[in-house]
Structure 1
């Protein structure tokens, strides 16, 4: 693994946009476009874990697939390890695949049910020619040991494992090529709570052992707080707040972030924000991404909305009193 350049982001997303044709038509007036990811920018530094949170449908998973180039970008610039990869062809992108991997939400769907686990783990080693045929069995055993599974499991099929074990296999496959960065898309959402804790602990252990960097996508804020060093909050395709994990959880600046935290079950009622005012739970449904509000996208649901919010879209900027926190809000919480 090559040494990271100090102070240079391992991953830099600049103005990432992903659009889909929601209604296809030869008549231009009838075409409708859904913007799943809208002008998202952030850096991920070597060794850190960026937690990406938000409601279902906010564009987290689509963004994760854009970051790994499993989904093509509609616009924007994507740099990985100092190289621009957003517009590379599949052939030119291949050398970067080993260093940029993904762990998927459903481990059963992402594992070929007709192939044994040993074959699934050996395939990337063969494709990228990292091992000779003689060395592959030992390397497969090492990968299984890294995720706390016995070597004899290599001869089994995916359906013979529990959900937690299948996710361990998915993680083993992701680290097979010794990547620098892993994008984990809701990796624990389909698991029991006790198993979730084990998988999160495994992610933390692998980060320390192999110097990994993560973009960790989840909707469970408790899990995100446990593993993340920084947190980015998404709403309707855009990042509305980003900052250090402790700062985000203890003193949220965006009303939407405060509402998400208010929704976490707490043993003590009446949890309050840093400003002393209770973070009121938002009302109404999420606006349609086909017809987002013209100003602030959170305005129809925000208890602090004013006329400026309806007319002018806020950009990410330094929040008052926030140590490095950026919030897209005209009237942030103090």
Structure 2
């Protein structure tokens, strides 16, 4: 049973900024693919909620730092990574938490307090349970704030999951992500909303390029084609000591569609023909793809074949 309140939303009352918290009671936490699904289930179960001033986040008692961060370009296998890690009972994996997104989009916050409060928010999401390793999978566009997020937890290792940009762009065009229409995000996306192949390709360029200036020994590049075999590399990079049963559990979870609750077999989609508009947008992305492929070590590259 968890004794931790979960921050689930940033909200306002008049001129006051508030944090909404929800208590899970005896419910196992974050067994769903995404944070919002866990919170929706708790709300439907009439879980107890409370509101606190925003400043309360700075008072969250720091537990140990997150065991790992997962960054990604979208539609690239990152949910398979998070679900495989979540298959281990002593892991807490918080996948694309809404309050972190709200925080990064918020305007008018005290610049001196903003980042320490975000650190408190992440500590609160991870909880205080003894013997539990916590992992945060960020939403893809959070890469635009990568240096600030890394600075909050300078010892936390991270992975960057990417995929052939043709496949990513086709998926985004076919099923546009929710963030593509957020007006608050438009300035970070080049001053416009991500609408259509050309605009989405420009956003992808920013996401593919964002980790490059911050690459270090803390980071590991993972190509979609390496999964699920690369889960062993990810576990090693995060410093996890998994026994044979836990390793087998990760392999078992990786067989199924990571974005579906339960054990739904994964069926990969075939690549559609590349449209003319999409093809003209691919040249800069292909250059970034080549750069990432060249950065992978030979041992990492073995898993991609």
Q: State the TM-score, normalized to the length of structure 2.
A: 0.30
Larger Rg: 1
**Which one has a larger percent helix, Structure 1 or Structure 2?**
2
